[in-house]
Chain A
Amino acid sequence: MRRRRELSDRQLGVLFLLPFVVLSLGFVVYPALDAIRLAFHSKLPFRNSFTFVGLDNFRYLRDDPVFWAAAWQSCVWTGASIVLQTVFGVAIALLLHQAVRGINVFRGLLLFPYMVPTVVIALIWRWMFNPELGIVNAVLKGSGLVRGEVYWLSDPTWAMVSTILLNVWKFTPFVVICVLARLQTIPVEIVEAAQVDGAGAWRRFLHITLPQLKAVLAVVVVFRTIWTFNKFEEIYLLTRGGPGTSTFNLAVYAFEQATANLKLGVAAATGVVMLTLLFAGSVFYLRLIRQQEAV
């Protein structure tokens, strides 16, 4: 005997998927496609003017020295951040891998920065790196390392350094988590065997641990590079891209074009450039994965 007729599996499947599909089409797919369309149009915010301009927005980028400066600064920012994050991340992960009492407390404390909102970090950074009142300059002057103030946020070079430090501080825990997870799967026997054979700590790291970490590090570096390259808040909230345009990256450049210059088309074209680079990065990533699977 059958109970009341239920929905068929197929109907139920569609019903379950429906909210996701509607929200995704409306608020993810459509805006993304619209961003690409916008790159070939000229549009002012709050106006209905919408004219096709072909490649004009891209020509604008080609002829704008600020765009090229922003692209270069993106590379500097990303490169320095990734190198420092990876080195610190691996070092801290090795430290947190040690089996000592109370290690979980340290693990917790060292992972927490990853959850702290960028706005909060920017507030704290602006306070600590304040030239007259900040603790950083006070300590540097007190220890006699520098004379006078270091203008952390208003000198072009130091402003770049400050944003890199902020980024490294926030995202080193990300590298730590990934590396630590991998470290815990390395069989203890291999390490012990090397120890018995008389390999020192440094050689054990170089010849046993590091090769085991190669795969996870490759993935982490590619992902972090893609994300770091496109970061907006980590720079904008600390320096607003300044002084001048000296800490602009492509995301800040796009934001300024859209909000200050009201050139939504140029902002969208910058976005398309970013997406193209992102796509290239993803293809590179997929190849890397396939290579590793083949080995």
Chain B
Amino acid sequence: MTRATRRRLRAGGVYAALLVVTLVMCFPLLWAVLTSVRPNDEMLSVRLVPQRVTDAHYRALLTGRSMYFEAGAGTYRASTAPSQHFLSWFANSTLVTLATTVLSVAVSTLAAYSVTRFRFPGQSFAPYFSLLGYMTPSIVFVFPLFVTIVALGLADRLPSLVLGYLSITLPFSLWLMWAFLRSIPLEVEEAALIDGASRFQVFRLIVIPLAVPGIVATAIFSFIVAWNDYLIARIFINSITQLPLTVGVMHFFEGTHVDWGLMMAAAVLITLPLAVLFMFVQRQLVVGFGAGAVKG
């Protein structure tokens, strides 16, 4: 066997293994997409690709009128899934996630700049505090946090979710921004200060542009935490119109019949913003992971 053949065989083996692994890992998502476009009367078939493709499930979600096919009776019936709220849940999730991301980045960048550039007592405590917050499971503080939220009169309102998510993202965002800002050399800033620039100008025109990779990593992390949360919203929010997507779609399991096409369409639509985000930030995500931008 020549070297070239051996190399080609080896590459073939690698591709075969990669394909199998990718197929296994991506199958659940693929199956969700395929189910979401499968007509109700084909739901029972195991055929990979449906014979007819339908947008009925997506239409039901977006218009709030869902039907399911009752095989025994051979007819369509109105589903009990509260799909009429799907769009408001989507809006709630979007609003809360964006607010959390912006606040998390702003607050932690300012704080990290302060901790890395100025001297005052107690500042060395910050990274340890972050590590503690990073490790503490939400289930431990979600109930006491709810008591505080009730006392503030925010229960069952969207701002309560932003505060709840900040309690998860802030300690870690500070740690991340602290690590990034610490690695930016002070000389440029000092030169600018000597040349007569104010601290604010230095912060805005020199530090922020240099910190962009850290800011992106922090933003991605905060976005994922807020968009994916279930526990905090489950405890804090009671009214069905105020729910975020994650808690909302679990209501689709109530009632006597589970409308799987509707369910998978919802699963696809919840994942879509993350998939778009992932495509744009894949490279930064790996950079962020390198800096420890992970929790899970």
Contact = CB atoms under 8 A, between A and B. Distances in A.
A14 B111 contact: no
A117 B271 contact: yes
A130 B46 CA distance: 13
Interface in A92-119: 92, 95-96, 98, 100, 103, 106, 108-119
Given A9-B118, A109-B22, A118-B228, A17 B250 contact: no
Nearest to B260: A127
Main secondary structure of the interface of B (DSSP, over half): helix
B174 A20 contact: yes
Interface stretch (A56-64, A75-83, A206-214, A270-278): A270-278
Chain A contact surface mostly:
helix
B249 A28 contact: no
A139 B141 CA distance: 43
A67 to B, nearest CB: 15
Given A27-B148, A28-B171, A100-B11, A124 B264 contact: yes
A10 interface: yes
A71 B77 CA distance: 44
B59 interface: no
Given A13-B114, A100-B15, A171-B296, A128 B199 contact: no
A120 B143 contact: no
B135 A124 contact: no
Contact of A17 (B22, B115, B145, B294): B115
Q: Which of A17, A26, A174 has the most CB of B within 10 A?
A: A17
Contact of A123 (B26, B117, B267): B267
Interface in B226-248: 227-228, 230-231, 245-246
A282 B263 CA distance: 40
A146 interface: no
Given A24-B133, A124-B32, 18 more contacts: A32-B140, A110-B21, A111-B282, A117-B271, A119-B245, A120-B267, A121-B28, A123-B266, A135-B46, A170-B296, A171-B296, A181-B290, A226-B135, A232-B139, A254-B139, A274-B137, A275-B136, A278-B135
Interface of B: 11, 14-15, 17-18, 21-22, 25-26, 28-29, 31-32, 35, 43-44, 46, 106-108, 110-111, 113-115, 117-120, 129, 131, 133, 135-141, 143-145, 147-148, 163-164, 166-167, 170-171, 174, 196, 198-199, 224, 227-228, 230-231, 245-246, 249-250, 253, 260, 263-264, 266-267, 270-271, 274-275, 277-278, 282, 285-286, 289-290, 294-296
Interface of A: 3, 6-7, 9-10, 12-14, 16-17, 19-21, 23-24, 26-28, 30-32, 34-35, 38, 92, 95-96, 98, 100, 103, 106, 108-121, 123-128, 130, 133, 135, 138-139, 142, 169-172, 174, 177-178, 181, 226-227, 230-233, 237, 251, 254-255, 258, 264, 267-268, 271, 274-275, 278, 282
